[in-house]
Chains A and B, each alone.
Chain A
Amino acid sequence: MDGRRHSWFVPAFSLALTLALSVLPLPDSVAPLRPDWVAVVLVYWSLTTPHRFSLLTAFWMGIAIDTLSGALLGQNALALLVVVYLAERFHLRLRVFPVSQLALTVFGLLGLYEFILFWVDGVAGRTVPLVERWVPPLTGTLVWLAMLMFFDRGQREARERL
């Protein structure tokens, strides 16, 4: 019972923290490096403990980012939905990958996330630069690797629980 409550608290806290991180003011020189925190964390959780979050969570998190960041309502929600759906759909196949390939996959997913945002911006006729777009997936993958190492023990426990 105690373990269950714990397992509910950690992800909920991580999601709230993630939202805060994604709007935390950074100096202009560092700001372009900011990873897409929410996407990284949701991908991390859906690859390690796939049954924890529903698509609905991804949807609401996306709506929260849209509201916070003043983006088109539904833009981040759609991108998150696609990424989380893919991660959860194929987590059984991805799970057997070595870490290097897994990292590549995560980079691909985060790249897709950025691409959807960029695409929607383009369709909506908003002017956005293209050049800096590939940086957040890169830093996001690094953050994901760091999370993997840091939470490795917890992750192994979670796998055993499955």
Chain B
Amino acid sequence: MSAPGRNTPGFGRSGFSVGARFVLLAVVCVALMLLDQRNQHLQQVRGALSVVVYPLRVLVDLPFSTWQSVRSSFAQRETLIAENEQLKRERLEAEFRLQRLESLETENARLRELLDSTARVGSRALIAEILAVDLDPYRQRFDLNRGLVDGVFVGQALIDAQGVVGQVVRVGPLTAEAVLITDADHAVPVSVNRNGLRTIAVGTGDSGRLRLPYLTNNADIHEGDLLVSSGLGGVFPSGYPVARVIEVRLRPDQAFAEIIAEPASALDRDREVLLVWNATGEAPRAAEAAAAASVADVQ
């Protein structure tokens, strides 16, 4: 094309030609991708890199968290009083429910003893803040301000006040990456609260919708049914609200019905979520994320 060394852009001072350096770096990229794809070979590298970019994350998050703290410190007296009243009312309600729950819990434990099965009630939780950082626009992922230092592990369940939010897919020393239950590659084992019908809720990529693709046309499910986590698969603790069915469309020409559900938790409005540990303390099998993904793939 041109005399070597004259018109070819000289990228740097090294001995390699530009083309050779390009090929070299491209090969490095492909090798990295392969290693990253083939299970967590690069866990350590990613951890180190995530520490390097941590300041940037915090910097981007800063205006948003500052704005929130400024807004709360300049809040009107009346609004504060009103909020206080409301919180008191809510707490009273919650305590009332808790009283009942305690008696139910003991009753449950007693019944389980009678049935000779192990009790699984009680678990530890930690509040994590969601960093205001946009990740890949095509996937429903976000960063948390907790990492290995806080004992976070891959496959840990995330829950908010209303229900199941998602699970941790990658842990760095200071931050963790989590995936929402509505991510297109995610699936949650659920059961219908009304009758215990078990199925799987698959994400759609839209934070307001879940699909239930594995229920037949004659399945006993209606609009308004609450779906709770079934605890199968071992990632999500059982009994937490996941979604509410908003649309059941029967398709006589197909074996399966088209069922859409709306997540119970405020997936796109949350600022804080709870990281949950099982009562036993042991980290459940991390393979669940992969299993969930493959379920989505099969579909």
Chain B residues numbered 130-155 whose CB sits less than 8 Å from any CB in chain A: 132-139, 141
Task: Categorize the interface residue count of chain A.
Answer: 35 or more
Chain A residues numbered 57-78 whose CB sits less than 8 Å from any CB in chain B: 59, 62-64, 67-75, 77-78
CB neighbours (8 Å) of B194 from chain A are none
Q: Does B60 contact A (CB under 8 A)?
A: yes
Q: Say yes or no: A73 contacts B46, CB within 8 Å.
A: yes
Q: Say yes or no: B134 contacts A70, CB within 8 Å.
A: no
Residue of A nearest to B50 (CB): A67
Give the interface segment out of B24-32, B121-129, B225-233, B281-289: B24-32
Q: Say yes or no: B25 contacts A56, CB within 8 Å.
A: yes
Contacts A20-B60, A25-B64, A68-B57 given; indicate if A85 touches B22 (C-beta within 8 A).
yes
Q: Does B92 contact A (CB under 8 A)?
A: no
Q: Say yes or no: A88 contacts B60, CB within 8 Å.
A: no
Chain B residues numbered 61-117 whose CB sits less than 8 Å from any CB in chain A: 64
Q: A19-B56, A78-B29 are in contact. List 9 more A-B contacts (CB 8 A).
A: A20-B59, A31-B134, A64-B52, A67-B46, A77-B25, A88-B11, A89-B9, A126-B139, A128-B184
Q: Say yes or no: A25 contacts B11, CB within 8 Å.
A: no
From A50, A62, A78, B9 is in contact (CB under 8 Å) with A50
Q: Say yes or no: B11 contacts A74, CB within 8 Å.
A: no
Q: Say yes or no: A55 contacts B29, CB within 8 Å.
A: no
A129 and B139 CA atoms in complex are apart in Å by 9
Residue of B nearest to A64 (CB): B53
Q: Does A124 contact B (CB under 8 A)?
A: yes
Q: Say yes or no: B138 contacts A128, CB within 8 Å.
A: yes
Q: Say yes or no: B22 contacts A78, CB within 8 Å.
A: no
From A54, A69, A128, B11 is in contact (CB under 8 Å) with A54
Q: Mark B4-28, 1 if CB is under 8 A from A, else 0.
A: 0001111110000010011001101
14 of the cross-chain contacts (CB-CB < 8 Å) are A28-B268, A31-B137, A51-B11, A68-B135, A70-B135, A70-B141, A73-B33, A77-B29, A78-B26, A78-B33, A81-B29, A88-B18, A89-B18, A125-B297
A152 and B60 CA atoms in complex are apart in Å by 29
CB neighbours (8 Å) of A16 from chain B are 56
Closest A-B pairs by Cβ, 6 of them: A74-B32, A78-B29, A74-B29, A127-B184, A74-B33, A67-B49
Q: Does B185 contact A (CB under 8 A)?
A: yes
Q: Say yes or no: A55 contacts B21, CB within 8 Å.
A: yes
